[in-house]
Amino acid sequence: MNVNDVAAFEYPTTCWLEAIFAKQHALAEKYGPIERKNGFHERVTMPLNIQDRFAQYLVKDYAWRFTEEITESLECLQPYHGQIWENAPEVMHFQEELIDALHFLTELTGCLSITADDVSNPPRPEYNAASGRIEYLLGHPVPPTSVRSIENVAFKAILDMGLAMNMLKCKPWKVTHMPTDEARFKAQVVHVWHSFFRLLNSAQLDAKGVYDLYVRKNEVNQFRQRSKY
Task: Look at 211 and 145; give whichever has higher pLDDT.
Answer: 211
Give the span between the Cα atoms of 34 and 40, in whole angstroms.
9
Does 120 have pLDDT greater than 80? Answer: yes
Positive or negative: CA dihedral 101, 102, 105, 111: negative
Q: Is 43 helix (H, G, I), strand (E, B) or coil?
A: coil
Q: Mean pLDDT lowest for which of 88-102, 113-127, 204-218?
A: 113-127
Please tell me the number of Cα atoms within 13 Å of 137 on its side-chain side: 28
Torsion from C-alpha of 198, 202, 99, 109, nearest 10 degrees: -10
Q: How confident is the model at residue 108 (pLDDT cuts 50, 70, 90)?
A: very high
Domains of the chain: 13-226 (1.10.4010)
Q: Is the peptide bond before 47 cis (omega within 30 degrees of 0)?
A: yes
Distance CA 9, CA 7 (A): 6
